[in-house]
Structure formats: structure tokens, C-alpha cells
Amino acid sequence: MVSMLGETFYDNSVLAWLIAVGIAVATAVTLVVLRTQAVRWLTGRVAGRHPQRVALALAALQGTQPWFLVIVALFVGAQFVALPPKADRLVDHIALIGTIVQAALWGSKAVRGWLAHQVATRRETDAAAATTVSVIGFFVQLGLWSVVMLLGLENLGFNITALLAGLGIGGIAVALAAQSILGDVFASIMIALDKPFAIGDFIVLDNMMGSVEYIGLKTTRLRSISGEQIIISNADLLKSRLRNFQRLSERRVQFSLTVPADTPAAKLAMVPGILRQAIEAQSKARFERAHFKSFDDNKLLFEAAYYVSDRDYNRYMDIQQAINLAGYARLQKEGIAPLRPPPEAKSSESAEPPGRSRTTGRTREPATRQH
């Protein structure tokens, strides 16, 4: 048995090989135990003083790949035997490339965890900022893996300078062949920086409308009123005229009222005041004006305008209905008969923003109204 251990195998004794294998196995077991204990320790401190930092460290640690532990164990074990020069260089290359890739995985895991935290915390208060964070995160990941690829190629003996020069020339050709794709990518960057809309906003684009669900590198996805998903390229979005109802702070409403041409002048003078009182009786309505606007062949036209300090469409219709009922009741009391058909309110917006139907609970469809 002793003589067998002393035999030479690839310039090392069998005993040396056994020691190296034992050290490699012990190293692998130790690393697995340390990783498991560290994960348990960090898991118990996620709800502590710095939960976000602990969560990022935990996510990165959980991203440690088993193959990386094997590479580390084999590298440590290889230090206890004399390897041929080529084998020694191969072990060094594998260990270095494995370390670079694992470091990139740790960084990628940490970036994804940070992005998820930022998006979750900002979506409720600043959806536009959440969109910006998502787009920036993609380019951070792209840059990280580009550096990893270049470091790996350089470690394998490639001439990085010549490679980058070749990529520059090839990149021009690719850019010319993929102008539309690159246009959408740059459009997504502009959307993230300029923030014309954000996730959750209700926008109208030509004859399409819906709530923004996702802003990607090439397309933006909307959820329409009727429930289907609308997918629009980012470049087309920036080229179009958008209407963002989410940023509607108040709505201007203008409506008209017609009365018979033979109405006495004294009663005509009362109509603007009646309309004003009906508007000012509403808590979320701000009166702007009410005037006897024009004569017609057999009718007289009055026009009133006011502002609604609530962007909800249902609330606006409730206010307009209350104004109509109060105004009509007062006109009847004064003996003034409005001509039929009844006047139609005209909002400053030609499409209805997303309100909630009281009967179905679904988002209401914007309705076009004449000005």
C-alpha cells in the first residue's frame, strides 16, 4: 500500500494526488456550508436596520453558482500538485474566467434587485421615474456583460484593440441594416428621459387609446378600454401627437342654452345669473362666465363655461347633471322654457379619460363630443 502511494503519476505521487483531491473536496464542502450559513444569517436580518442593503447582499449571495464553487475547489486543490505548464495555464484561465463570470452574475443580481426595489417604491409616487429606472437598468446590465465578455476574450489571448476596431466597422453595417430597431431603442431612451407618459397613464394616440402597461426597448403596450392589448413601436409613439389624460388637473366645460325668441327681456337678464348660481352650488365646479351670446331666427342662445377640479369623468358628469337639473328647475320657476333638444355640455377634452363604470367596474370608453 505504501509503495502504491509512492508511485508517480503525471509527475506527482499518488499520495500528492489524493491530498489534492481531498483538499478540493474539503474546500467545496466548506464553501457550500459557508454559503448556506451566510444565506441563513442574512435572511434573519432582512427586516433589520438596513433591509435594502441586506436584501441586495442576500440576492447576490443566492446567485452564487455551484459550478463556481467547483472551480474554486479544483483551483485550490491544483496548487498542491505540480501540473504541466499547459495544464497549469488552463487551470488559471478557467479559474479567472469563472471568477469574472460569477462576479458579473453577482453584479447582475444586485442590479436587478435594486431595480425591483426602485420600481416598487416609485411606481405609486412617480411612475415616470420608475420607467426611467427600468430603461437605465437595461443599459447597465448591457454594459456589465459587455465588459465581462471583453475581459474573458482578453484572458483567452484575443487582441481586444483589433476586435473593437472590427466591431466598430461591423457595427456601422449592422446599424444601417437595423435602423428601425435602433430607432425604437433610442425612442425608448427618449421616453425614459423626457417622460411624456409613464406606466399607468391613460393616453390617446390617433384612434387608439388605453392605459400604459409596459414600456420596453422596442414597443410600448397599452391596455385598451375593451380589454385587448395594443402594441405600438416607440418610434411611432414619439412621432405622433399624444394626449395624456393622467395629467389632467382640471377640465373646462362649456355648454349652451337656447330659449324662445319671444322671451321677455327682463327674464332674459335673469338667465346668466341662474346658470351662475347652478354652477357655483357645486363644490368642485369653478364658475368662469355666463353670457347671452347671440340671436337666431326663432331662438336666443346663452353660453356658460366653468371648470371641474376633478379629472374623473363620472364625477364631471355628476356635476353637469346637477347643474342641468338645478338650472332647469329655476328656469321653470321663473317661467322660462328652454327649447328642445336640451343643450349638450362641451368639455375642453374631446375624449373621456379613464373613469370607472358604476355598473360593471370596467374602465369606461372615452366618448367624442362636439365643440
* pLDDT above 90: percentage of residues in the chain: 20
Residue type, 119: V
Give the position of cell 366618448. Answer: 367
Q: Over the stretch 134-176, which tens digit does the pLDDT of each residue have?
A: 667 777 777 788 788 777 777 777 676 766 666 665 555 555 5
Q: Over the stretch 78-122, which tens digit does the pLDDT of each residue have?
A: 888 888 888 888 888 888 888 888 888 888 887 777 777 766 666
* Residue closest to 311 by CA, chosen among 273, 354, 367, 263: 354
Q: Is the pLDDT of residue 55 over 70?
A: yes
* Residue closest to 86 by CA, chosen among 161, 25, 11, 158: 11
User: Which pLDDT value is given to residue 152?
Assistant: 75
* Residue closest to 271 by CA, chosen among 334, 323, 346, 325: 334
User: Which pLDDT value is given to residue 302?
Assistant: 93
Cβ distance 272 to 291 under 8 Å? yes
- Residue ranges of the chain assigned to CATH 2.30.30.60: 190-246
H or E stretch including 231? strand 229-233
- Give CA separation, 329 vs 71, 260, 304, 334, in Å: 87, 17, 17, 9
Rounded distance between C-alpha atoms, residue 324 and residue 304, angstroms: 12
Give the model's confidence band at 35: pLDDT under 50 very low, under 70 low, under 90 confident, else very high. Answer: confident
User: Which pLDDT value is given to residue 94?
Assistant: 87
Rounded distance between C-alpha atoms, residue 97 and residue 79, angstroms: 18
Rounded distance between C-alpha atoms, residue 252 and residue 212, angstroms: 25
User: Which pLDDT value is given to residue 42?
Assistant: 77
Cβ distance 338 to 327 under 8 Å? no
Contacts of 215 (CB under 8 A, 6+ apart): 131, 134, 135, 188, 191, 192, 198, 199, 234
- The strand pairing partners of 290, in sequence order, are 304
- Mention the CATH class of domain 190-246: mainly beta
Rounded distance between C-alpha atoms, residue 100 and residue 94, angstroms: 10
Which has the minimum average pLDDT: 140-149, 196-205, 289-298, 319-328? Answer: 140-149
**CA dihedral for 264, 269, 272, 276, sign (positive or negative):** negative
Which DSSP letter does residue 213 get? E
Average pLDDT over residues 3-22: 71
User: Which pLDDT value is given to residue 360?
Assistant: 40
Expressed in angstroms, the distance from the first to the final Cα of the chain is: 102
Three cell numbers at 134? 427600468
- Residue ranges of the chain assigned to CATH 3.30.70.100: 249-347
User: Which pLDDT value is given to residue 344?
Assistant: 54
Rounded distance between C-alpha atoms, residue 232 and residue 236, angstroms: 7
- Global pTM value: 0.47
Residue type, 155: N
Cβ distance 314 to 329 under 8 Å? no
- Angular region, 311: left φ>0, alpha ψ -120 to 50, beta rest: alpha
* pLDDT above 70: percentage of residues in the chain: 74
Rounded distance between C-alpha atoms, residue 87 and residue 264, angstroms: 110
- Angular region, 157: left φ>0, alpha ψ -120 to 50, beta rest: left
CATH code assigned to 249-347: 3.30.70.100
